[in-house]
Each structure stands twice: as structure tokens, then as C-alpha cells.
Amino acid sequence: MSSLQLFAVTSSGPQPLPVAANASELADLYEGLSLGVYSSLRTFEHNKFLWLDHHLARTVRSMRALGWTYTWDEATLRQALDQVCSAFPGAEMRVRIDVLAEPAHQLGTESRLLIGLAPFSPPPATLYEQGVALDFAPGVARTSPLVKTADFVKARENIQRTDAYEYLMTNQEGQILEGLSSNFYGVLGGVVHTANEGVLEGITRQIILEQIDHLSIPLQLRPITVDEVAHLTEAAISSSSRALLPVVRIGEQVIGNGKPGPICRQILAAYNEFVQRQIQPAA
């Protein structure tokens, strides 16, 4: 039996929807549906969220960028999130909020607004202590970087996998834009670099940039190029499920001394403190 859960958000509350017995990850819940825009985030302390209002606002911006006139009742959505997350049996969960292009009639609902839940375990502490290895994803790109569309989730499943933890997308100029499910940062000459255009508007990225500013760490909003990777002293990726995760190898190139560096450790500590101050229930 699948440990995943799927709900339609309705005016009378969250409606449980059928989940295929062989569904193993959140993306499996949406097979055959008219995909639209989505937001993916994690819970803290079982039913609390970090910057949920920012996630919801970004989803609305994605809808408007597609020319959609669909609107939701945010209070109803928040109540549904609080209800289904509070009742979920696991300690923490990954949460996906989808606005479909068409109602999910095949699942027995008129709603276009769905909530998917899956058990979540944060990355183990050893990854933050030792760092992770990345590789490149040739030919993979977002068609509309500022619009978080669910069809990109399906497209990224088709890349040729290696033993890398995450895969980086580049443009024709050889600039590193972002990971398949993360934002990317490189430290060059004591300055943190990250792409500011052609990338997803990451909520965790926004928090990370604020912490960098508060810490008075030099920052340049420009992408690292593939040719500059050999000169990086530190690197990292960020996402809602990973926070800031140090990177110690990209392709065959070892980053710095092959260990997480002091700048990334400082930013991560500030981020974790920020989380404890900011998490709150959905409703």
C-alpha cells in the first residue's frame, strides 16, 4: 500500500483522492492529469511551514504568467493544508500543491487544486559534513524559468543519470544556471556567485540571499561558468527540502579542498536559525 496521500481542495474541505498502489513518489500521483503549475515544500515540526505565503504567491504569479484567470480561496487552501498535514502519520512530509490545467475528473473531483503528501526525511547530517557531488544535465532547460510548471518535473526524469546527487543546467554560453530541483551557488575569490536570470524564483534562494546580505558576505548576481568551476573554493545548492547543501565535486572537478568551506557553513547556520524563528502552521 502506498504511503502517499492525495487530496482535492474543495469548499467543504479536503477530499481524499485515490492513489495507485504502485505510486512511489509525489510525481506518480499526477499521472494522466492535465498538469499546470505547482509548488513543492516540506513541513517542520510536523505541520509547520517556512514562508508558505511566499510559495503561494509564487504559484499565483506562475498562473498569471500563463494567462490563467483561475483563482483560489487562500483561507480554504490553508485550512486544508493544516488539516491534512496535522493528520499525516509521518513525522515530517513533503508537500506538493498543484493547480491543474483542467479538473481531475478521472479521480472523481471537479477541483483543479490538489495537495499531495509524501513522507519526508531531511538529508542526513553526513551530507552537510562531507558535501555532495554534482554533474551536468546536457540539453535540459526550463522553457519558462519564472513559471514553475509541473511538466518540467516529468521532463527532468529523462536525463541520463550518473552517481551524482544533483544535476546542473547550463545555457549556450556555458553559464551554470541552476540544478534540476535546486538553485546553485559558487564561491570565487571570497565572493558568492549565483545566476539571477534564466532561473526559477526559488523561495529558499531568496532566504539564502537575505542571510548572505545580513552576514555581509560579498555577493554577485551572475552565474558561474563551466570554465570557472576549477577555480571555485566552495559551492552549494539550495532547495526547500535541502536548505543549503555544500558541493565538493562537479563532474570530475574537486571543489576547493574537497570539503565544505567556511562561507557555506556560515550561511547554513544563519539559515537554520532563520527557520526556527519563521516556521508557522498553514492556518
Q: What is 10-22 written as a DSSP string?
A: ETTEEEE----TT
219 and 86 co-located in one domain: no
The reply to whether 181 falls in a domain is yes
Which pLDDT score is estimated for 138? 83
CATH of the domain at 193: 3.20.10.10
Which pLDDT score is estimated for 201? 82
Q: How many domains in the chain?
A: 2
Last residue within a domain, chosen from 84, 100, 119: 119
d(CA 36, CA 50): 23
| Type of residue found at 76 | T
95 and 172 co-located in one domain: no
| Beta-sheet strand order (sheet of 37-42) | 13-16, 5-10, 113-119, 93-99, 37-42
131 and 239 co-located in one domain: yes
60 and 131 co-located in one domain: no
CATH of the domain at 15: 3.30.470.10
**Mean predicted confidence (pLDDT) in 178-196:** 96
250 and 146 co-located in one domain: yes
Counts of helices then strands in the chain (DSSP H, E): 6, 16
Which pLDDT score is estimated for 200? 83
**Mean predicted confidence (pLDDT) in 245-253:** 97
136 and 51 co-located in one domain: no
Per-residue pLDDT at 145 exceeds 70: no
Which pLDDT score is estimated for 150? 57
The reply to whether 195 falls in a domain is yes
The reply to whether 182 falls in a domain is yes
More confident residue, 151 or 40: 40
Cα end-to-end span (Å), the chain: 30
Helix (H) or strand (E) holding 100: none
Per-residue pLDDT at 148 exceeds 70: no
d(CA 167, CA 190): 24
Last residue within a domain, chosen from 119, 146, 179: 119
Per-residue pLDDT at 98 exceeds 80: yes
pLDDT band at 19; cut points 50, 70, 90: very high
Which pLDDT score is estimated for 274? 98
230 and 270 co-located in one domain: yes
Domain that holds residue 219: 125-278
More confident residue, 138 or 15: 15
Last residue within a domain, chosen from 95, 119, 143: 119
pLDDT one-digit tens code per residue, 20-67:
989 999 999 999 999 999 999 999 999 999 999 999 999 999 999 999
Quick check: helix, strand or coil at residue 23? coil
The reply to whether 283 falls in a domain is no
Cβ pair 158, 180 in contact under 8 A: no
> Which residues, other chains included, contact 68 with Cβ-Cβ below 8 Å and sequence gap of 6+?
36, 99
The reply to whether 207 falls in a domain is yes
113 and 133 co-located in one domain: no
135 and 273 co-located in one domain: yes
131 and 115 co-located in one domain: no
Quick check: helix, strand or coil at residue 212? helix
d(CA 112, CA 104): 6
137 and 87 co-located in one domain: no
Of the candidates 56, 2, 6, the residue with the CA atom closest to the CA atom of residue 29: 6
d(CA 221, CA 166): 22
In the predicted model, what is the mean pLDDT of the chain? 93
The reply to whether 33 falls in a domain is yes
114 and 191 co-located in one domain: no
Which pLDDT score is estimated for 280? 98
Which pLDDT score is estimated for 3? 92
